[in-house]
Amino acid sequence: MKVLSTVVIVASIASLIAIAAPAGAAAPESKSQITILYDAFGTNPSMTKDWGFSALVEVAGKRVLFDTGNDANIFAANVNAKGVDLKTLDFVVLSHRHSDHMAGLNYVLSVNPTVKIYAPKEGFGIYGSSLPSSFYRKDEALPPEMRYYGGTPPQVMKFGAAWGGANFELIDKTTEIAPGMTLIALVSDAVGTKELKELSLAINTPDGVVLVVGCSHPGIEKIVEAAAAINPKIHLIAGGFHLVVAPDDVIAKAVVALKDTFKVESVAPGHCTGEPTFAALKKAFGDRYLYAGLGTTLPLGSNAGSDMRRGEGPALHKDDLATYRRLARREDPFGILPAQHLRTRASQL
Ligand SMILES: [Zn+2]
Ligand SMILES: [Zn+2]
């Protein structure tokens, strides 16, 4: 017993040190959580379900709005229902140029017109862009009135954003934008979204990487692979995995990759992950599947609360847990009742 308690104390001290000084990781702070502000499923009666995604990510002392939903009015109502103050955001991330992730930006700008907005850098994209004027072929023999800029173009040609005056910073390649916070920039190769660039947010916490994905058009496995290059320990993935129309074999392959190849600790899928994928992930991850419907707050890592015991259940707030259980009792959407029954039987053995 004495040996056991010594081991426990040593382990506790070691984890405290890990929390206090994680090598290359984001600094710990008081509030670490992800709040889902926009999605098409959920149980919060004061919020409106709609297709799209937005989440408030509070971690490492930063408040980050990741995507802005599909409709500015619904986004505004959901933000206000959750009492989220957009004036004190550190920055906004727009994952990609699809409207179900961007349409609330006008509302964000009406509240906070100067907020820094990270978005993917794309040629002639909606977020604006620029090119050296050397990109186009010249014909010196033409009269000036037939030549672009009368034959004397600016060195750099700037192309406007759909939101004039907004404080965009365009991300071309994977970039650490704050200590421990990295925007992973990847390009989709899928039919229908070829060349679409997407940003995912990887936060290196003392518990491993917390990865927030918008729509995962470049492929969830490719994004996780890039996150694992920052830190192979993937603590949590939240957001859209883009398997909403994928056939069962593709879903199964992705689930195996997340669980067995990348050994992802927990998943909190939403948005375009897809109903059959919710079911497959729930089956594979069990208690490590965190329900992330509209309005849910997911506590993160070492801040998850002293009353939370790791490895024994999903990291949910008490009210979220109650909602989750009520939902499960009513519909059992993830088949968790048979799983619970099996666990109960196993613990009785
Ligand atoms: Zn999309
Ligand atoms: Zn989407």
Return d(Cα 102, Cα 106) in angstroms, integer.
9
pLDDT-wise least confident of 1-15, 31-45, 80-94, 310-324: 310-324
Ligand that lies nearest to the alpha carbon of residue 100, given by its number in the listed order: 2
Residue 186 alpha carbon to ligand 1 centre in Å: 13
Residue 295 alpha carbon to ligand 2 centre in Å: 18
pLDDT at 347 over 50: no
Residue 67 alpha carbon to ligand 2 centre in Å: 10
pLDDT value at residue 30: 60
Q: How many of the other CB atoms lie within 10 Å of CB of 43? A: 17
pLDDT at 211 over 90: yes
pLDDT at 28 over 60: no
Q: Please state the pTM of the whole predicted model.
A: 0.79
Residue 292 alpha carbon to ligand 1 centre in Å: 19
- Residues 21-33 have a mean pLDDT of 58
Place 123 in a pLDDT band, splitting at 50, 70 and 90: confident
pLDDT at 93 over 90: yes
Return d(Cα 264, Cα 240) in angstroms, integer.
15
Residue 126 alpha carbon to ligand 1 centre in Å: 14
Residue 54 alpha carbon to ligand 1 centre in Å: 12
Ligand that lies nearest to the alpha carbon of residue 196, given by its number in the listed order: 1
CA 31 to chain centre: 17
Which residue reads 């010249």 in tokens?
A: 138
Residue 253 alpha carbon to ligand 1 centre in Å: 21
